[in-house]
């Protein structure tokens, strides 16, 4: 292995020299910012010192990694491996949020015999009504809808206890489950809505609930169950530090660029970028391109001392955004190293970034495994790559962390929204056509 130290006036110049002399496969061992007398003897100038190494042993062939997707620029105005068994519940962080609820008991085994009998009775009633010269068209329509609903109940495996809901709320339950909301979470929401509607209108107890009214009310219930966080707060004269953590491939670097662009271009605040993900030169390139476009500094930190030095150097910046390595949530060793770095930042605002395309059970496991990093916010990306949004709600109910932002595409910074409870309710249970218009 060949090791060499380079000096340059900026991080970009230093990285260019390392690439030119040692190639793309060079490792960054350390970075340091120091000051030296200027060439003209007028004061001092900052010098970036980078120590790099390259393994000159021929590398074994490997399967090429998937290239990162192309990324572009602009914040749209906000609208207000599968686990073999369920993961243990997330431990409560000492710094934020109440302790999570104990794991919910499994749903009781299904007994479909009552459903089959009721379905046969309905089929017989429908056949009899159809022979009666269509004189009861309204009842016939309602029975046909009930038959369709019961068929869906059988396909989705609903426990028979759910049939105690009024037909309108039972229909909404089916909509929630079809949107990948966990069945038990969907049931609890519908039961809560039923109790509230009974208090308002005694007829609800007999199963008479207007479908549109039930949908509007359940949307408000869902919104009330969604905790949201304010945007990153920037205070004059105070440096705010925010870190993005999460598994590989969820879009942390793109999201970090969106936050930086919004603060720099729209809020007119001074921003600096700090990356902990620089084991190979190629890993810096994407973030370096964003830094050049935004004309903001980028600092490399591999050790605790690097991190402290960088934060001292950027005391004049309103916002320092930290990018972290993406890795499997089961890699406890790397998570421990990352925790050691983040523990040096007692006031850091840590956003756990997760993809909306991830399976619900995997989201629960990811949140549990990243709990040692004490995330204070949840941030969901790739909303544009899925058609079901229920896992977002199920995760918020179980993890009990507020939702900060929603990533809706690759555009920087446009495709990033400040999360609101109404926006999430729109995704989980769309509004009736009249309200939407």
Asked if residue 300 is part of any domain, the answer here is: yes
φ, ψ of residue 120 in degrees (nearest 5): -60, -40
Asked if residue 271 is part of any domain, the answer here is: yes
Q: What is the pLDDT of residue 16?
A: 81
- Whether the Cβ atoms of residue 352 and residue 377 lie closer than 8 Å to each other: yes
Using the structure block, give the residue that is written with the tokens 């997330």.
90
- Give me the domain span that covers residue 47: 2-54
CB-side exposure of 24: number of CA atoms within 13 Å?
3
Which alpha helices (H) appear in 201-346, and where do they start and end? Answer: 211-224, 252-261, 282-294, 304-313, 332-342
CA angle (257, 260, 261) in 5-degree steps? 85
Q: What is the pLDDT of residue 58?
A: 56
Asked if residue 114 is part of any domain, the answer here is: no
Q: Is the peptide bond before 413 cis (omega within 30 degrees of 0)?
A: yes
CA angle (68, 72, 74) in 5-degree steps? 135
Query: Which CA distances in Å does 244 have to 63, 70, 344?
Result: 28, 20, 15
- CATH code of the domain containing 357: 3.40.50.300
Q: What is the pLDDT of residue 78?
A: 44
Asked if residue 420 is part of any domain, the answer here is: yes
- Sheet with 319-323, edge to edge strand ranges: 298-300, 271-275, 319-323, 240-245, 349-355, 377-381, 403-407, 416-418
pTM over 0.85? The answer is no
Q: What is the pLDDT of residue 116?
A: 62
Asked if residue 272 is part of any domain, the answer here is: yes
Strand, coil or helix: 44: strand
- The series of mean pLDDT values per 10 residues for the chain, 437 residues long, is 82 81 77 71 73 68 45 40 44 45 52 62 62 54 55 51 72 92 90 81 54 89 91 88 92 93 92 80 76 91 87 92 82 81 86 94 92 94 95 90 94 92 93 59
Asked if residue 159 is part of any domain, the answer here is: no
Q: What is the pLDDT of residue 209?
A: 62
CA dihedral 374, 185, 107, 173 (to 10 degrees): -160
Rounded Cα distance, 336 and 340, in Å: 6
Asked if residue 119 is part of any domain, the answer here is: no
Rounded Cα distance, 33 and 315, in Å: 14
What's the structural domain count of the chain? 2
Q: What is the pLDDT of residue 134?
A: 54
Instruction: Of 225, 255, 290, 227, give the one whose Cα is nearest residue 406.
Output: 255
Asked if residue 338 is part of any domain, the answer here is: yes
CA dihedral 284, 289, 290, 294 (to 10 degrees): 130
φ, ψ of residue 271 in degrees (nearest 5): -125, 150
Q: What is the pLDDT of residue 156?
A: 52
């Amino acid at each position: 292995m060949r090791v060499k130290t380079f000096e340059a006036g900026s991080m970009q110049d230093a990285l260019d020299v390392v690439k030119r002399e040692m190639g793309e496969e060079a490792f960054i061992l350390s970075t340091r910012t120091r000051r030296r007398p200027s060439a003209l003897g007028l004061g001092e100038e900052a010098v970036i010192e980078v120590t790099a190494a390259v393994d000159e042993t021929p590398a074994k062939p490997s399967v090429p990694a998937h290239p990162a997707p192309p990324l572009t620029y602009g914040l749209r105005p906000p609208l207000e491996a599968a686990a073999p068994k369920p993961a243990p519940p997330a431990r409560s962080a000492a710094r934020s949020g109440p302790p999570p609820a104990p794991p919910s008991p499994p749903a009781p085994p299904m007994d479909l015999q009552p459903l089959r009998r009721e379905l046969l009775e309905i089929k017989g009633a429908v056949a009899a009504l159809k022979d009666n010269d269509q004189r009861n068209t309204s009842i016939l329509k309602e029975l046909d809808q009930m038959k369709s609903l019961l068929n869906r109940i059988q396909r989705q495996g609903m426990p028979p206890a759910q049939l105690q809901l009024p037909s309108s709320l039972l229909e909404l339950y089916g909509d929630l489950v079809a949107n990948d909301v966990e069945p038990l979470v969907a049931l609890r929401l519908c039961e809560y809505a039923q109790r509230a509607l009974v208090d308002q209108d005694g007829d609800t107890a007999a199963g008479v609930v207007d479908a549109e009214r039930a949908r509007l009310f359940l949307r408000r219930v869902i919104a009330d169950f969604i905790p949201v966080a304010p945007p990153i707060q920037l205070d004059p004269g105070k440096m705010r530090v925010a870190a993005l953590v999460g598994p590989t491939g969820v879009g942390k670097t793109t999201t970090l660029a969106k936050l930086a662009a919004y603060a720099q271009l729209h809020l007119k605040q001074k921003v600096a970028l700090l990356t902990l993900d620089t084991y190979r030169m190629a890993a810096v390139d994407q973030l370096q391109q964003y830094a050049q476009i935004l004309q903001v500094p980028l600092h490399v930190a591999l050790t605790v001392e690097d991190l402290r030095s960088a934060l001292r150097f950027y005391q004049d910046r309103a916002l320092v955004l930290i990018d972290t390595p993406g890795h499997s949530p089961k890699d406890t060793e790397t998570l421990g190293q990352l925790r050691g770095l983040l523990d040096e930042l007692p006031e850091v605002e840590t956003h756990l970034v997760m993809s909306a395309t991830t399976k619900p059970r995997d989201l629960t496991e990811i949140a549990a495994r990243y709990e040692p990093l004490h995330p204070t916010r949840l941030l969901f990306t790739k909303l544009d790559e899925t058609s079901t949004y229920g896992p977002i709600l199920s995760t918020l109910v179980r993890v009990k962390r507020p939702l900060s932002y929603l990533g809706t595409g690759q555009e920087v910074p446009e495709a990033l929204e400040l999360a609101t409870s109404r926006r999430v309710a729109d995704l989980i249970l769309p509004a009736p056509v009249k309200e939407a218009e």
